[in-house]
């Protein structure tokens, strides 16, 4: 899930708490955090597609 900005309720924010309790260092991320993470790994985010569910598809390609 891509966490939207702001303080509006969102399922992913609740799930983030559960992930934090189960896995050290794991968390849900915002769009900017995904872009930064993928960029540091040598990828460029070409699109983020919101699905009818709270999930999203993040399409990233390798930087030349």
Boundaries of every domain in the chain: 2-62
- 33, 50 in Cβ contact below 8 A? no
Q: What is the pLDDT of residue 8?
A: 86
Q: What is the pLDDT of residue 10?
A: 79
- Residue pLDDT, tens place only, 5-60: 888 887 877 776 666 667 666 677 889 999 999 999 999 999 999 899 888 999 99
Q: What is the pLDDT of residue 20?
A: 65
Q: What is the pLDDT of residue 25?
A: 64
In the predicted structure, residue 3 carries a pLDDT above the cut 70: yes
Q: What is the pLDDT of residue 13?
A: 73
Q: In sequence order, which ranges of the chain are alpha helices (DSSP H)?
A: 11-22, 31-40
């Amino acid at each position: 899930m891509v966490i939207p900005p702001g303080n509006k309720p969102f399922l992913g924010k609740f799930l983030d708490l559960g992930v934090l309790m189960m896995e050290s260092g794991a968390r849900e991320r915002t769009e900017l955090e995904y872009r930064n993470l993928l960029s540091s790994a040598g990828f460029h985010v070409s699109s983020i597609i919101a699905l009818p569910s709270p999930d999203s598809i993040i399409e990233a390609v390798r930087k030349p």
